[in-house]
């Protein structure tokens, strides 16, 4: 017996909530932009510049939790500690210290002293502000290029109306994720950029599945009006959408619980991305698509217009 989270005969009038969803999404996007402009992002060492130290425990497994607590008491600002390679290796990232090169060297020496004789410092690097700015620029370019590539792909696969609706929905997801980081002050680093690109990919994948069913139903049911076709397509793909989201969320929740501090912010961003991506595929992308005049083919099979329950 197959597990079904959504009944196969679901008949929900999703587009009845289009106006409410439009207001909510507009407030969400505007709020995210406002938070980004006023509060800003808690940029990590990748973008601000800083110090990187790689060390290896001489006699056994590195105690990351204990060491993280000791390093946070040094007063060096933002410090990130994670396992690296084997259980004996660690990677320490420290924000750029105020002052010249001597200040950076002093911070390295202080961390090395805290590590003690149990750790062998194998590599030290300093990421300057110029490199950090370059990484930030490339991160923005990666997101913009991904969105443009998605728009072109949808345009060629479907029609320009689908492309516009899809790119606005994905942009909605990206901006709301940035707003989440501005609101929570989670560290925004290269891993976060990877999370945003993953969220964009997840969202567009879900949207393409719905759009593909819309295109199929446009060809099949000429006698239906556009709203009925869109609602029918959403109901037919709802089970797949919910199952995909739930299974993805289960994996992400496990990462939040067991993945440690290094992966927690990334996993939380992905959880938000799955939720907002699922919402935008149903209410934003298809809602925007309903505002366009889509062409229907001549394949009329005589099926009556479906009636959707009022919910």
> What's the CATH code of the domain at 105?
3.30.70.3400
∠ Cα 184 188 190 (to 5°)? 155
142 and 283 in a single domain? The answer is yes
> Using 50, 70 and 90 to split pLDDT, how confident is the model at 297?
low
Q: How much is the pLDDT for 32? A: 92
Q: How much is the pLDDT for 93? A: 81
Q: Is 222 helix (H, G, I), strand (E, B) or coil?
A: coil
Mean pLDDT (the chain) is: 79
257 and 181 in a single domain? The answer is yes
213 and 162 in a single domain? The answer is yes
pTM: 0.73
Q: Which residues pair with 90 in a beta bridge?
A: 55, 83
Range of the domain at 108: 50-127
Q: What percent of the chain is modeled with pLDDT above 70?
A: 87
Digit-coded pLDDT (tens) for 109-139: 888 888 878 888 887 877 766 666 777 777 7
Digit-coded pLDDT (tens) for 23-41: 999 999 999 999 989 988 8
Q: How far apart are CA 4 and CA 242, in angstroms?
A: 10
Q: Any idea what DSSP says for residue 95?
A: E
In the predicted model, is pLDDT for residue 246 greater than 80? yes
What are the φ/ψ torsions at residue 119 (nearest 5 degrees)?
-120, 140
DSSP alpha helices (H): ranges in the chain? 18-38, 45-48, 64-72, 101-115, 129-157, 160-184, 190-220, 226-258, 260-279, 286-289
Q: How far apart are CA 299 and CA 302, in angstroms?
A: 9
22 and 136 in a single domain? The answer is yes
Which element (helix H / strand E) includes 80? strand 79-84
- Is there a domain that residue 217 lies in? yes
75 and 22 in a single domain? The answer is no
Q: Any idea what DSSP says for residue 153?
A: H
Give the CB-side neighbour count of residue 123, counting CA atoms within 13 A: 10
Q: How much is the pLDDT for 310? A: 38
- Is there a domain that residue 119 lies in? yes
The number of domains in the chain is: 2
Q: What percent of the chain is modeled with pLDDT above 90?
A: 5
- Is there a domain that residue 86 lies in? yes
Sequence-separated (6 or more) residues with CB below 8 Å from residue 165: 284, 285, 286, 288, 289, 292
């Amino acid at each position: 017996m197959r597990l079904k989270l959504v009944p196969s005969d679901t008949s929900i009038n999703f587009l009845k909530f289009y106006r409410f969803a439009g207001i909510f999404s507009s407030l969400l996007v505007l709020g995210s932009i406002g938070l980004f402009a006023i509060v800003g992002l808690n940029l990590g060492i990748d973008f601000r510049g800083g110090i990187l130290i790689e060390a290896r425990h001489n006699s056994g497994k590195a105690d990351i939790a204990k060491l993280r607590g000791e390093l946070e008491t040094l007063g060096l600002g933002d410090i990130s500690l994670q396992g690296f390679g084997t259980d004996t290796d660690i990677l320490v990232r420290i924000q750029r210290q105020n002052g010249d090169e001597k200040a950076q060297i002093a911070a390295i020496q202080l961390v090395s002293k805290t590590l003690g004789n149990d750790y062998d410092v194998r590599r030290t690097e300093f990421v300057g502000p110029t490199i950090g700015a370059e990484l930030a620029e490339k991160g923005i370019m990666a997101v913009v290029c991904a969105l443009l590539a998605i728009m072109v792909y949808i345009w060629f696969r479907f029609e320009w109306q689908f492309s516009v609706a899809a790119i606005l929905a994905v942009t909605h997801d990206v901006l709301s994720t940035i707003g989440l980081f501005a609101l929570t002050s989670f560290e925004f680093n290269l891993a976060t950029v990877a999370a945003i690109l993953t969220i964009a990919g997840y969202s567009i994948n879900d949207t393409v599945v719905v759009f593909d069913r819309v295109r199929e139903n446009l060809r099949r049911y000429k006698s239906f009006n556009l709203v009925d076709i869109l609602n029918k397509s959403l109901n037919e793909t709802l089970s797949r959408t919910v199952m995909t989201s739930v299974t993805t969320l289960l994996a992400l929740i496990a990462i939040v619980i067991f993945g440690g501090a290094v992966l927690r912010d990334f996993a939380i961003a992905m959880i938000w991305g799955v939720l907002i991506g699922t919402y935008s595929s149903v209410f934003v992308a298809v809602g925007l698509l309903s505002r366009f005049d889509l062409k229907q083919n001549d394949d009329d099979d005589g099926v009556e217009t479906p009636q959707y329950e009022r919910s």
